[in-house]
Every structure is written in structure tokens, then in C-alpha cells.
Structure 1
Amino acid sequence: SFSRNCAADAAVFQNTSVDDGVILSWSWFFDDPSSGPANSSNLPSPNHIFAEPGTYQVQLTVTDDCGDTDTLVRPVVVTDPASVSLAILPAGPVCSFQPVSFSPATSVGLGEVSDVQWNFGDGNSTTVVQPVHQYASANTFLVQLAARVAQCSKNATASLVVNPGVDVQFSSSGICSQQSVSFLNLSSQVGISHLWDFGDGQTSTALNPTHTYSNAGEYNVSLEIVSANGCVNQRSENKKIWSRPVPDFSLALPPFSCAGTPSQFTDLTPPPTDSNITSWSWAFGDVANGSSSQRNPAYVYTTSGSYSVTLTTTTNTGCSAFVNKTVTIAASPTATFTTGLACAGSPTQFTDTSTGIVARQWQIQSTTYTSLNPTHVFPAQGSFPVTLTVTGLNGCLNQRQQVVNVPVPIQPDFVTQNACATQVTTFQDASSASPSDPAVNWQWNFGSLGSAQGTAASRIFPTPQNYAVQLAVTSQSGCQYTRARTLAINTTPEARFVATPVAGAAPLTVDFTNTSSGATSYLWLFGDAGNSQSTVTSPAFTYLSLGTYPARLIAGLANGCRDTTTVHINVLVPAIDLSIDRFDLVVQPDGTRLPRVTITNRSNVPVRNPNLQLQLGSEQSVVETVVQTLQPGERLVRLMNARVGAGQTNFVCVSASTANDQVADNDRQCVSIGDPWLLLPPHPNPARDILWIQWTLTSSPFEVEVWNSTGQRVAAFTDVESTGGQRGIDVSRWAPGVYIIQLRAEGRVEQARVLIAR
């Protein structure tokens, strides 16, 4: 084969010989004697320049490795370069932003054109024989074309005038059928006319038109703009229009369209052929502005009536549509019920308070009831939903659910202490706690022995025997739990003892004599700082220090019952005070008088065997001993043995005495016989420190004065200043000597003498 067979141009020969062995040599003969030595060649694929046009018989002989040869002769027509031409179409002018179709113009036709190279003068080039090129700006561009025409190399140039055109650009918004699609002209400039072709047979000359596609599909949209210079620019794009959904829905009949219960809506929108519905938006038209994004929602209307419901459906391409329908929601009955006291293991009463009902169903735990007012037993604590479903006359349902809280039950129990007859037996609540429903009331029942309230109670059982005791515990919610037990009451001993003495100076040895009954064991607690004890039946104990000691005896039995008694032992500094509280004379049938004395031990220790001294007038005295121990605070009325005869004296005095009596102003009293008032002899006489002046006058005003031997008054007092029939005067600072005591009353004056000695 060969190429570029044009005069004065190198023709290229290509060896395509084949052999079953190996070709070792090639011999070419070009039939061009004017070329001289170049008329032949031994190269496999040589070049040769034919100087003149014409037809040449070119010969090729090949030899293989076996010595075989073969020769091929073919005519080669060499063209005259002058006989062919090359030009550029179009000559112009053209417009920018407008496709320009370029083509070589030759004398031999496009079939003889090859090896094309275009240069459009704007930096762009191509090897396409008939290219289409668009200029982005207006100018004069030098267009160059290089090609082989009839195997001859040819070049052509042209100055192409490009007038300013319009860069047509546009956009659109809206992709759904039956909805307005807006087209926006984004071209570089506005022309003198605009023509839109929407691809569905409809056009527009508006600058920025809108268009509605009736059907979904793919549409070729074009915009053609004519400029004032005559340039016509156009742009076309494919526009995809998607189907718009056609929404529809239905509402179920009662009981699925009733107030207060879920009303069931069903989407009936047919699926589009080119897309899928991916979202649903419901507006239920009530005052609550209820909405849903579910495909088939259930919505609860609180009241019956007509509602405008809107369903908007949207496809995966974004196309949407809505439909609005008026629906009717029927009136529902009202389910109401009350719950009685709920306690574990006890019947709980449920009462249906609904009205206008034709049927009902209770669901309590796993049990279903259809009765009007059922009872149900909750076996244990917990929170249990109770549901009442009622059916009205129109078939509508209504449901009410309440959670019944059954509290943790209290396990009633109690403990006792000291279950002993004739003693206080205590009872203490030991019931289990219920944090959610604590106990608030405790009722104890002791049968014939009465009842009590509170967490603790006590009772004295009179005899040892079995008694029935019951505890009823009521919780905060009102649940009541009961525990009954038989309580065995045991025999109780009786603790008694005598302490001798019970008071005295330290060291004080006290003998404790046990007089208890019914006991088998004894424990003495002496109450001292060392907590001394003894189990001897009748012990003795010595108290060494001042103080009050509770000596305690605990007498017990093997059944655990005990009795306790206590005597306080006072170890103290003795303060002796024996007083006469009353003194009078008791007239006897024979006319004599017996002295009657009331004495009181005002000491802090016992007083043993006090003496009573009876003074008959100013001469005779009698002493009697009271053989008795007076305990602190003990009072004794004593009728003395001595008799006072009629006319024997006009006054009688009595004095009580015991060792170490520390109070002297209360241990002597006197009475007069006959005369209603009398100044008694002062005592002691002689006196050193305290002088006691006594009188028997009780009601009349009086005055007492004391004069020394020089006639100077040294003391005086009146009845207003003195009570009790006597008064003590401190004479420790008076000068020794004789003093006169004078009593004035009712116009009378009585006197007595006293000696002050040192």
C-alpha cells in the first residue's frame, strides 16, 4: 500500500507481503527514471518523491529464507498539486455563542480530504473534517486549515468576523405535573425577541415565563433569542416532569370513628407510575390542631362533630398534593368507675358509674368481668392497671384505665414483756413495715379487760391464766390487718421488807428483814456507789457516807416474774427537832384533868424514847418517858399519866426533850386554868443566850416590855409582832443582873423576874 502519492511530495510505501518462512530481502522499482538512483530501494517500506504527475508501474520483489521470490506490480497515480484547491466555509460573518459549522471547500470533493487540522483562532483546534465550533466573544478570528487533498498537502486561511451574540442560559424551578413551573432567563443580555419552546407543543415569548405540564414526562425545553444585530442564539435542555399524586382517604365507621377513642384513617392515594409516595401529612381539623405523619393514623377526637380533614401526600421526587374532606365523629359514651379499698388478699369493690351503656367489659389482671360492679382479690402488693371498656347505643366504645396501687401488706405482730399476774404487762407493736402504706392506727383488744390504742399498750392481768389478745393494725390507706394470740400470764411473787433503821449518821448499819411471799430468789441492791448486792434472804449492810440510798429488793420466780420494792435509807448529819404542836387538858369525870400532848418528830432521823416534862404551876414538875421511836415527820398524840387536880395550879406547861434537840422555840407549850390570860414564868431562868417569854393570852391586844434594874427598857413587842404564845429574845449581850418582864392587856399588868447570868 502507499499514501501521499502527489507530485513533489514523498509517497510512503508500506510492505504488506506474507510468507510461510522468513522474508529476507525486498527490491522496489518505482518506474521513475527521472529520479535517478532513487528509482529503486531495498528497504521494506521506503519513501519516494515522484517529480511529475502521472501513472507509474511500481514493482516489489521479495525473497525468503528458502530462496523463493515473488514479484508484485501495481499502478500508482501521482496527482498534480496544481489541479486541486482548498478553501474554508463559512466565509462569515457569524455570531458568538452560536454553533458555527465549518467545512473544507475543495475541487475534488470531501472524499479526497484527509489529515485535517483546524485552528479557529481563539485557541481552539480540532482534527474533525467538518467541525462545529462556538465563539465565546465577538471579534475577527484567523481560521486556519491544513489537509491532504487528493494526497496533496494543502493549507487555507480565512478571516472570520464574529458578531456579538447572546449567551443563552436559563433555569427552572418546579418539577411536578399540574403545578406551575417557573423559567428564569439567565442569558447574558436581553434580545429583541424571545421564544420559549416547552417541548409539549406550547411556546411563550415572555422573558421569564411560567408553564404547567399536564402530564409527567421528559421535555426538551429551548430558548431562542434574536439580537438587534440579527444574531439568533438558542439553548435547549431536557426537563424532567414527575407525576403529582392524587390524594384520597377514608374514615372507618363506628366504633372506629368515635369521640374519645382512636378514629382510624386509611390512605387511598393511588401510587404514581414514575415515583413513590414517601410522606403523608394529616391535619385533623380540631381545636387542638392535631396532626400525624403516619400513612394510616388513628386519631382521638375529644368531642363529637364534623371536622375538615386534610391529607397531603408527597412523592420521593418532592411532588405533593392535598385533599380535604369533611368527616363526622360520633359521640362516645363516658366510661367512669370508682375503686374501693384495695388491700392484698381482700376483695376490692369496683363500681361502674358510666351512663347510657349497653355493654361493658372489665379487664383486671388476667380476669375479665362483664358484671356491673365486680369484686376482685389482688393476691399481693403491686400496681395493677384496671380497664373498663363500655359500648354506647351508637356502637361507640370508650375506655377508662386506672392504676390500682395495692400497698405492701403489713404483717401484724407484737411482743410482750413481764407477762406476770397483778403487774403491768407491756405490749409493743412488732409488725412488719410497709414504706408505701405505713401503719397509722393500732387497736388492742384484751377481751373483758378492755382495749387500748397506739403502738404500745399495757394491761394488768389479775390472775395467772391464759388470755386472748388481739392486735388490729390499720394502714394509711385504710387496710386493716389482724393478729390474735393466746398469752399465758404467770404467777407473780410479792416483794416486802423492813429496814431498821432507815436514817442515821454514818456509819449506819441497816438490818433488812425480808417479808416477801411467793418468791424463790432474792436480789438486794443497796444503792451505794459501789453497786453492792446480796442474794441473802435477809442481809445487813453498812452505809459509810452521807446520802440517800434506794435500797431495793427484787423477789423472783423461775417463770421470770419478779416484784420489786424500795426503801430509801438516809445517811445524814442528824438535825434533831422535836416539837409540841398542841397541848390541852382533858377533863375527867372526877373533875381532874389529864394533859394531852401532840408531838411531832421534825428531825431528819428517828427520835427514840423522848421525854415529856409536865410543870404544874411554878413549883411541881413531872417527867414521863415515851417509849417509842418516832420516824422523821411522824406525829404522836399522847395522854399523860399525871393528873391536874381542881385548884391545884392556875397554869400547866409541858416540854418535850430529846438529846441534841437543835430547835428550842417549839418544844414547850402552856395552858392556863381559870384565868383567860397569864404571863408564864420565863425560861430558862437564869438565862445566858436566849430568853423565852410565854403567855396564855390568845385574843386580846397586849404589849410586853423588859426593864433592867436601872429602869431602862431594853426590849418590847406587841401581839402584832408575836404569835404562838411565846417569843425568844437574844440576851447574849445584856449585862448580868435582874430584869423585869411586864405584860399589859385589858387594863391589867402582870410581871415576872428573870436573872441574866454569865
Structure 2
Amino acid sequence: MEFSPDGSRLYADTVGGHEIWQYNLLAGTPAAIAASKQRIPITTRGELNDLQLGPDGNIYVSAWDSHYLARLTNVNASAAAVRYEERVVDLQGATCQFALPRGPNDLNLPPVVVTNSGTVSASAVTCAGEPVLFQSSLSPFVTAASYAWDFGDPDAGGANQAAGQAPSHTYTQAGTYAVRLRVTSSSGQVFETGQTVQVLPLPRIAWPADTTLCAGGQYKLSPGPQPAGTTYRWQDGSTTSGQTIIQAGQYQVRVTSPTGCTTQAQITVSFADCPSLLPNIILPAGDNAANAHFALRGLNASDWDLTLFNRWGREIHRQEHYDNSWAAAGQSAGLYYYFLYNPTTGQRLRGWVEVVK
């Protein structure tokens, strides 16, 4: 038996047989590992004796009474990608009888050449604001003295660098980041490897801060436009894209994008007796300028659309994003009825105002 350099695969031959099998040690449970067994196609006719990992990262194969060693390459990969090469090492007239020597360089293999520090892996799906867990798999022929990570995120300041074999990093912005790992061995050699990390954006929830609404009104609470496939979960367990608020309370929604990234928001809504703040009389011809116009005291007027009707129900004035300017110009004294609508929140207010001239 022999392991791949990164420890992810186990290779086994059959005593006196002609087969080599690969097991995926990352498959999970022992049963799953056993079920991952795959045959490596080989051409050697002799009975196989031994498998041994060489310092060049390949696995060498001996066969009974052969004058050569064979070799498996690309042994960190799945069985279909592994290559079998026959007659790789000439034994100079000697023949294989039993196991290979424990010191692979007794076979005069080429000097050890390690081209990188191993492999780097991170979470398959990474969302902005969530920690990314990195892992590095080190070649068994390198004894690491230090690890130096660069996460490709200079905006993170000092957090862009880390040490250790398995650090974590949190990306606050979506994007593609080039991660580099620099390993210094105990002998002073330096090796580098890297990986690209894709960070997905979080859903954006367009909510105001905690707000107070006018009694009798309503509030259309929505996270805002989201892509198709987005899911929602409200504090009451409902899964609609929005709610109409008619009672005071604390409201919460969790929005999950089609890519699996989640954002949560919360808002406290209270109600007050706003209509009492609105004027029920205006004096366009009076001396007090503050009472000359229909002014929405206590409200941000531009948030509202105003429609006014005379006592016979005929519309006499309409203005989107009201500016507190209506002074009954061209209208006679008397009662008028207003309808205020907030297109952002869905609030509606109705009442009357008397014009005195």
C-alpha cells in the first residue's frame, strides 16, 4: 500500500496479482471510502510486489522478476486521471524480487524537486461577511518552518496577512481574490502556491431606520427588488416578499439569494396620532404667514402625494411630492377634503381642512 503525496488517496496492489486499486480517503465514512475503490489500468504482466512513494511525488511500482520499475504519476488526482508508465527506472541488470528498499534514493532517482508547497483549498461557496476557512496540504517532502498567507484583500489592512497552516479570513466585499501561500522550509527553501476565491454578494435590504407612522395608516414593508429565486422568512414564519404593517411592533426578515447568501434586517414600527398635527384651518388672506398654507406639520411633506377635493367630491388639486404650498388659490372659502399618500410606505391619511377668506 502507499499514500498519495497530499494524503487524499490510498493505493493498494494485490499480492501476487496484476491490479492496482485507488481509494478516495476524502469520501467520508469508512463505508464510503471502501465504495470509492477504482482500478488503475496497468500493462505490467508480472506479479506486483510493492508500491512506494518517491521523493518526486510519484509512486513507483515493482513487479516480480522485472528489470525495470514502473511509475504512477498524477497520483493526487482521481483514478481516471492517474497515468501508468512502464519501464521508467532501469535496474541495470538487477531484478525485482520482493519489496522496494525503504530509502527511495537508493534507486538513484533524480534529485528532489518540489515545485510548490502543496495545495490550498477554501469553502466552495463564500459569501461576503462570512469567514473563509483555508486549508493547505503540504508535500510530505517539505518540513515547514513558517507559513505566510496573503489573502489578496489589501483593504483589510493587517488582516490581509496570516500565518499558520489553516487560517481564516473574512471578505467584506464581493469579488474575486487571488490568495497566495508562501512556505519556508526548515532548510531555508521557499515554495509558493495559490488559489482564486470567489466571494458572492449579500442581498441588499432597503429598509429605513426605526420609524413612527401615523395612526390609522399602513406601511408596506419590503426588502426591495431582489433577483428571481430569492427566498424570504419573516418573524411570523411567512415567506412572502413583503408585508403590510398595520400594528406597532418589531419586524424582521431574512433574505436568501439564489446563490445561498443571507442577509437579515430588523425594524421597530410605532404609531402616533399624526392627523392632530395637520392643520384643520388655513387663512390665506390672514396676517399670520404660518397659517396661510396647508402645511404637513410633523411630516416630511415631499414624501407624500396630495389630492384635494371640494365638498361635492370634485378633485381640485393634485401634487406629487407635496411642498406645503397649497393656499386655496382660485378656490372659495369652505371645507375641503385631503387625501395624502406615501408611495414609499403605502401610508394613507384622510381628513378635512377649512379655508377661511
TM-score, normalising length from structure 1? 0.20
Between 1 and 2, higher relative CO (CA 8 Å, sep ≥ 6) is seen in 2
Larger Rg: 1
Instruction: Select the structure that is richer in helix.
Output: 2
Q: TM-score, normalised by structure 2?
A: 0.39
Greater strand content: 1
